[in-house]
């Protein structure tokens, strides 16, 4: 069970990282909201396993997405 949660957390984190790179492009900042929602799910899955690599990936992606949303005013 823990290895499945770890795999899902890493997979979700990598998908969110790809979405985040699209969100950094001007006028595509709305994709960062989907990225943040995915990161929350990934963080939930990343809490359970002993190795926290998925949690770290999702937290890093979420922090960058929040900073980008903050700089862009939430939408842009």
Domain extent, residue 59, equals: 2-72
What's residue 75's pLDDT?
66
What's residue 76's pLDDT?
57
The residue count of the chain comes to 76
Q: Per-residue pLDDT tens, the chain, 76 aa: give them.
A: 778 999 999 999 999 999 999 888 888 888 899 999 999 999 999 999 988 999 999 999 999 999 998 887 776 5
What's residue 27's pLDDT?
80
Q: What is the radius of gyration, based on Cα positions, of the chain?
A: 12
What's residue 73's pLDDT?
78
């Amino acid at each position: 069970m823990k290895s499945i949660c770890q795999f899902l957390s890493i997979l979700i984190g990598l998908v969110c990282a790809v979405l985040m790179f699209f969100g950094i492009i001007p006028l595509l900042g709305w994709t960062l909201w989907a990225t943040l929602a995915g990161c929350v799910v990934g963080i939930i899955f990343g809490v359970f396993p002993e190795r926290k690599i998925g949690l770290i990936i999702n937290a890093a992606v979420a922090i960058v997405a929040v900073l980008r949303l903050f700089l862009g005013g939430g939408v842009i």
